[in-house]
Amino acid sequence: MGLFDRIKQAFTGEKKETPVEQTETTEKYEKGLEKTRKTFSSRMNELFANFRTVDEDFFEDLEEVLIESDVGFEVTMEITEALRQEVKLKNAKNKNDVQQVIIEKMVDIYEESESGDRSIQLNKDGLTIILFVGVNGVGKTTTIAKMAHQYIDEGKKVVLAAGDTFRAGAIEQLEVWGERVGATVVSGKAGGDPASVVFDAVKRAKDENADILIVDTAGRLQNKVNLMKELEKMKRIISREVPDGPHEVLLVLDATTGQNAMIQARQFKETTDVTGIVLTKLDGTAKGGIVLAIRKELGIPVKYVGLGENMDDLEEFNPNEFVFGLFSELIKDTL
Q: Is 283 one of the annotated binding-site residues?
A: yes
DSSP-derived secondary structure for 44-101: HHHHHHT----SHHHHHHHHHHHHHTT--HHHHHHHHHHHHHHHHHHT--SHHHHHHH
Taking the C-alpha atoms of 279, 284, 290 and 291 in order, what is their torsion angle to the nearest 10 degrees? Answer: 50
3 state SS for 254-320: EHHHCHHHHHHHHHHHHHCCCCEEEEECHHHCCCCCHHHHHHHHHCCCEEEEECCCCCCCEEECCHH
Q: Is 127 left (phi over 0), alpha (psi -120 to 50) or beta?
A: beta
C-alpha to C-alpha distance for 107 and 109, rounded to whole angstroms: 5
216 is in an annotated binding site: yes
Handedness of CA 56, 60, 65, 66 (dihedral sign): positive
- Check whether 137 is labelled as a binding-site residue: yes
- Establish whether 192 is an annotated binding residue: no
269 is in an annotated binding site: no
Does 108 show up as a binding residue in the annotation? no
Supply the DSSP string of 38-58, one letter for each residue. Answer: HHHHHHHHHHHHT----SHHH
Are the C-beta atoms of residues 298 and 72 closer than 8 Å to each other?
A: no
Is 36 annotated in a binding site? The answer is: no
Residue 257 among known ligand-binding residues: no
Instruction: Check the annotation: does 276 bind a ligand.
Output: no
Spatial separation of the C-alpha atoms in residues 36 and 327, rounded to whole Å: 10
Residue 280 assigned to a binding site: yes
Helix (H) or strand (E) segment spanning residue 251: strand 248-254
Give the DSSP per-residue string, 143-160.
HHHHHHHHHHHTT--EEE
β-strand 184-186 against 158-162: which pairing, if any?
parallel
Tell me the C-alpha distance between 21 and 331, whole Å.
Answer: 17
Asked whether residue 218 is marked as a ligand-binding residue, the answer is yes
Q: Is 159 annotated as a binding residue?
A: no
107 is an annotated ligand-binding site residue = no
Close Cβ partners of 173 (under 8 Å, ≥ 6 residues apart): 141
Residue positions in the annotated binding site for GTP? 134-141, 216-220, 280-283
Residue positions in the annotated binding site? 134-141, 216-220, 280-283
